[in-house]
Structure 1
């Protein structure tokens, strides 16, 4: 029934594996393989979260065995539910952070001009519906970046095509290269209607193909999630909080009070003095939330957590000039609050929890 000379799979089957344990799926395959006479009848190994069991039976021919390979891996349904829950939590946290910035700005506006000052402060920072156009002239003028072409880097554009199709982007971002061979970085600009991704020469030369795919998917996630628009709005709120708080402090010091401000002058002064720092902390918190969401989306787009984690580790070592473990060990809660990106250890842990 089988070709005894083959060393590859001759017959394949599959099983749903529902009786093997809750949350696990299985794949069972059979093959005639050539092996030494002395070999393990049962071999168990692990690849990531997948447990692999191989059983070997003599086929009757010398050196030829029937191999039954059983792969057990966490069920896709549970992983999908976990990723959806993570995405919902990130969206909720982003919304709450923006609401907190709006409330802080509204409070500062009320101190400055009562109800009218509140309305002016909040309405003056309403986000614009679109994003500015990104042209090649603008990219060169702002960054000195040159456009990349499919003829120059066909593999990179092949990765881009696959990632953008899975992301559902109707308009693919243009790719640019920044002449910085000693730097490793990537940037995403714009939103779904028009965007660009900038790579440094150092990143393109130091990363493997799969690692570049993970970084590219992360930047495409920022574009699909319209994070540039969200962070621009947050930056406008942060600046407005700073200006309005300064105006409020000037009014309080000049003695121009309204309503019950005079009796609560010290409390309002403290609030206005702390408002810029609070706005900055909220802005940084939002940036960290959007980065974690982009990591999760990149995992959805590539399905390769190992390459994405390897890319993050390379970037961490490059920018910190020593291992990610040392960096995370030195960081406390205060340092975490002052970062625009989560610590690499936190990002890796989140990716592992979503992948397995």
Structure 2
């Protein structure tokens, strides 16, 4: 997706936020909404990583606390020509990962312990390379800003249902306008959010496959994570659905209303890339960093820093 298209879609989200403010508060409401949107964007620019990481109770790790996981990310960052990002772990059984930060110099990547214990080393490398692909493509700031504004639109729409007043002369018309606004605005925000996120996922898959050098390992990881995401609840996404676009796979819902392309389509694109490059299929046995013969079983992995049995 071109930078100009992204700017246009972000502008559309801001305009939608202002329109909702105008519907609920007139011209004054529109001005307040514009100021709030500008303030949110400025705050998000400087604090995007802190917002997302604190939301997930992520803890930073280093070469001593998680040597193999940290070393894997370090090697991939070097291959991608990126500065070393901060590395985080989330102690959750839900298998997923994300990247955040305003630019490559201030980036962070995170993975759940559920993901590390589920995948082989090659698959974990594919997933973290995908996240570094987002960093390399400078997607992380945009995705966090979009999630922030879309969440604010939904919140303002909910407030509008309870706090919108109207004058006696136009009361009925105002009530109808308010109902339309609070129904249409979140749906429109979701459409814009999907337009931004879906193309960026394909781009990160391609970049991740190039960084890791193994498109089929990433394809295999996507299949496993998708199955796990459907079975294991994600409490953060349940509390804040706008955060769903940050993850490598969607946490629920049909393709029509998902911020991600269908996992099957992403896998097909990666398989096509592997066919063009002649990449070998991933081995069914576990790698040196993941000695579990059947990755879906919840035994300890060498990448699992908790060493759970």
TM-score by length of structure 1 reads 0.56
Q: Secondary structure at the match of 1:125?
A: helix
Residues 148 and 177, structure 1, Cα contact 8 Å, conserved in 2:
no
Note the residue ranges of structure 2 that are not aligned, 5 or more in a row.
232-252, 277-309
Quote the residue 2:125 is aligned against: 213
Q: CA deviation at 1:234?
A: 1.7
Q: Which has the higher strand share?
A: 1
Matched positions, count: 249
Residues 295 and 351, structure 1, Cα contact 8 Å, conserved in 2:
yes
1:141-160 aligned at under 5 Å gives the runs 143=57, 145=59, 147-149=61-63, 153-154=67-68, 156-160=69-73
Residues 94 and 115, structure 2, Cα contact 8 Å, conserved in 1:
yes
Note the residue ranges of structure 1 that are not aligned, 5 or more in a row.
1-86, 322-333
- CA offsets per residue over residues 189-227 of structure 1, 9 Å max, x none? 324233332333343333222212111111112333444
Q: Which has the higher helix share?
A: 2
Quote the residue 2:243 is aligned against: none
Change (3 A) 1:131 1:167: farther
Inter-partner Cα distance in structure 2 for 1:146 and 1:158: 14
Q: CA RMSD in A?
A: 3.8
Change (3 A) 1:353 1:125: farther
Is the radius of gyration larger for structure 1 or structure 2?
1
Q: 237-246 or 247-256, which moves further after superposition? A: 247-256
Quote the residue 2:184 is aligned against: 274
| 2:42 aligned with 1:130 | no
- CA offsets per residue over residues 120-140 of structure 1, 9 Å max, x none? 312321212423675xxx969
Quote the residue 1:237 is aligned against: 149
Residues 223 and 263, structure 2, Cα contact 8 Å, conserved in 1:
yes
Using CA pairs under 8 Å that are at least 6 residues apart, name the structure with larger relative contact order, 1 or 2.
2
Q: Secondary structure at the match of 1:104?
A: helix
Inter-partner Cα distance in structure 2 for 1:100 and 1:132: 20
| 2:96 aligned with 1:185 | yes
Inter-partner Cα distance in structure 2 for 1:151 and 1:276: 42
Inter-partner Cα distance in structure 1 for 2:228 and 2:178: 45
Inter-partner Cα distance in structure 2 for 1:117 and 1:146: 41
Residues 6 and 196, structure 2, Cα contact 8 Å, conserved in 1:
yes
Change (3 A) 1:257 1:207: farther
Q: Secondary structure at the match of 2:260?
A: coil
Inter-partner Cα distance in structure 2 for 1:140 and 1:116: 33
Inter-partner Cα distance in structure 2 for 1:150 and 1:97: 42
Inter-partner Cα distance in structure 1 for 2:159 and 2:115: 45
